[in-house]
């Protein structure tokens, strides 16, 4: 897909993730160095008042940016801003979305979010994609 062909109001192809698994979070802990046990060990999550382990916010944010990966020959993410709105639990099924809201010459402004199986936004924010001249 060519970014220049994307019209304002149109979306990048959505991605639906497989249900969140404990191994996903263990792998992210290992890759990122974030070993906070509320992301991997139920007892520790419960001690913090949670019903069970929750995903690292940065795991979800990391997943969301893959909507743009096929476009990196055309430009790159200049700004990526996210608000963590709700928790992500094991077996949640997330859908990743990005819609083009505006364009200024080589800058493409996207509204982006990850929604859970109940349609609730768990993270949301803005991405500016800067196209190479």
Contact 116, 88 (CB under 8 A): yes
Task: For residue 11, give the DSSP letter.
Answer: B
Does the footprint of another protein cover residue 110 (CB under 8 A)?
A: no
> By C-beta, is 9 or 94 nearer to another protein?
94
Binding of another protein at residue 34 (CB under 8 A)?
Answer: yes
Q: Which stretch binds another protein (CB under 8 A): 4-12, 32-40, 103-111, 112-120?
A: 32-40
First to last CA, the chain: 17
CA distance 5 to 71: 12
Q: Is 15 helix (H, G, I), strand (E, B) or coil?
A: strand
Q: Which residues are near another protein by CB under 8 A? A: 17, 24, 27-28, 30-34, 36-38, 44, 48, 57-59, 61-63, 65-66, 69-70, 72-73, 76-84, 125, 132
């Amino acid at each position: 897909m060519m970014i220049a062909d994307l019209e304002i109001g149109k979306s990048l192809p959505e991605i639906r993730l497989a249900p969140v698994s404990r191994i996903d979070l263990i792998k992210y802990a290992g890759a990122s160095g974030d070993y906070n046990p509320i992301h991997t060990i139920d007892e520790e999550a419960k001690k913090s008042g949670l019903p069970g382990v929750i995903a690292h916010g940065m795991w979800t944010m990391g997943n969301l940016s893959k909507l743009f990966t096929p476009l990196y020959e055309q430009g790159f993410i200049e700004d990526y801003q996210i608000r963590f709105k709700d928790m992500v639990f094991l077996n949640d099924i997330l859908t990743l979305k990005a819609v083009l809201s505006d364009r200024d010459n080589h800058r493409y402004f996207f509204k982006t979010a990850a929604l859970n199986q109940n349609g609730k936004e768990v993270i949301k924010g803005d991405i500016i994609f800067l196209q190479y001249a």
